[in-house]
Amino acid sequence: MVEPSPWPAVMSAAVFVLAVGGVAWMRDWTPWIFFVGLVGVLYTMYAWWSDVVREANGGYHTPVVQLHHRYGMMLFIASEVMVFFAFFWAYFDGFFRVDDIEQYARVGFTGGHWPPAGIELFDPFHLPLFNTLLLLTSGTTVTWAHHALLEGDRDGLKWGLWLTVLLGVIFTGVQALEYSEAGFSFGQNIYGATFFMATGLHGFHVLIGTIFLAVCLVRAYRGDFTPERHLGFEFAAWYWHFVDVVWLFLFASIYIWGSWGVPISH
């Protein structure tokens, strides 16, 4: 087994400071507590994962340790599924109960329409479709990189990772462009809140996944991965495929189904 680590306790303290700082900032007290917590979280992430890389290179990742790491990553992705499920639930609660007499405040605010009357939505077959194609292609390139690594093709591994990172960066840029052209805002109504929370949370995951893969690219150039030992890259690929699948649900439910028969912004 690996040596005991102080980082779980340190991360808990940093996250607590971050949460308290977030509340303080939203209450207009001070933003500095939040940034102290953020620095603590980022430093702990770097130090903790650096220790994990050193353990892997030092031979500490025995088959039992690798199995536990895989279980941990599976549970982490499962928890992420639950987070997205909550935001999908919020969106579809507004979708299906928009004229529910028990939700009289919502009906009065939205006029009993979903989306609320007067909102022009994105054309799902313009930028959202382009982003869908980007993510589907990136899922192919990261799979190519993984299979190249398994076959000892280090050039294929590097090219696959370069392309995946590039596609992730382009996706983020296109989504930023889409947001800049939105005909509604986060605080305008329940539709804007649920739309930007769901798609924004996904965009944040794309950003994290892109950083994850970029770190794997650096490690690929360092020669850290072998066909037999590459847990870091394997987990990055799992995470990226999870991000792809979530986007497909977002595209199908919010962009296409949610805009059926509604005026589209051009």
Q: What angle do CA 62, 63, 65 make, to 5 degrees?
A: 65
pLDDT of 141 > 90? The answer is: yes
Report the pLDDT averaged over residues 218-232: 91
Q: What is the pLDDT of residues 170-212, one digit of tens each?
A: 999 999 999 998 888 887 778 888 899 999 999 999 999 999 9
User: Residue 9's pLDDT is what?
Assistant: 96
Helix (H) / strand (E) containing 53: helix 32-57
Q: Which long-range contacts (CB under 8 A, 24 or more apart) does 193-197 make?
A: 194/87, 194/90, 194/91, 194/94, 195/91, 195/254, 197/87, 197/90
Portion of the chain with pLDDT greater than 90, in percent? 65
Rounded CA-CA distance 197/15 in Å is: 21
Q: What's the rounded Cα separation, in Å, for the pair 152 and 161?
A: 15
Contact 35, 88 (CB under 8 A): no
Residue 262 has pLDDT above 80, yes or no: no
- Does the pLDDT value for residue 81 go beyond 90? yes
What does the DSSP 8-state code read for residue 121?
Answer: E
d(C-alpha 170, C-alpha 163), whole Å = 10
Q: Is pLDDT at 94 greater than 70 in this prediction? A: yes
Dig out the tokens for 244 from the structure. 């792809």
pLDDT band of 108, cuts 50, 70, 90: low
Query: Where does the pLDDT of residue 102 fall: very low under 50, low under 70, confident under 90, or very high at 90 and above?
Result: low
Question: Is residue 27 predicted with pLDDT exceeding 80?
Answer: yes
Q: Looking at residue 261, what is its pLDDT? A: 55
pLDDT value for 263: 56
pLDDT band at 16 (very low <50, low <70, confident <90, very high): very high
8 A C-beta contact, residue 138 and residue 154: no
More confident position, 204 or 102: 204
Domain ranges in the chain are 1-60, 62-265
pLDDT score at 157: 96
Beta strands in the chain, from DSSP E residues, in sequence order? 121-122, 264-265
**DSSP secondary structure string, 5-30?**
-SHHHHHHHHHHHHHHHHHHHHTTS-
At residue 26, does pLDDT exceed 60?
yes
Look up residue 1 and give its DSSP letter: -
Contact criterion met (CB below 8 Å) for 222 and 178: no
- The pTM assigned to this predicted structure is 0.88
Give domain 62-265's CATH architecture.
Up-down Bundle (1.20)
Q: Taking 60 as the threshold, does the pLDDT of residue 266 lie above it?
A: no
Residue range 1-60, CATH number? 1.10.287.70
Q: What is the largest CA-CA distance in the chain?
A: 63
Q: Which helix (H) or strand (E) holds 123?
A: none
